[in-house]
Amino acid sequence: PLDLAVTGFDDIDQASLINPSLTTLRQPLHTMSEDIVELLLHRLEKTRMRTQGKRYEAELVIRGST
């Protein structure tokens, strides 16, 4: 067990409650959600919106599992 590191994704609430607490990657879900809604509204209005790939900066939350 000392040679194993475990990480999670999305920083769910339970990640900090278990022992050892889970190191995880936190995504900017609020910003991502706003961008998705904007894109959907443009599609519903049938207006052309230039779509391109987007990159979001994630945050590594280091806890006891690594």
pTM: 0.65
Q: With cut-offs at 50, 70 and 90, classify the pLDDT of residue 1.
A: low
CA angle, residues 24, 26, 32, in degrees to nearest 5: 150
Predicted confidence at residue 23, as pLDDT, reads 92
What is the pairing mode between strands 23-26 and 7-9? parallel
pLDDT (tens digit per residue) in 30-65: 999 999 998 888 888 877 767 778 899 999 999 988
pLDDT digits (tens, 9 = 90+) for 13-22: 888 888 888 9
Token couple for 4: 């194993």
Q: What is the pLDDT of residue 47?
A: 72
Which token pair is 28?
A: 């900017």
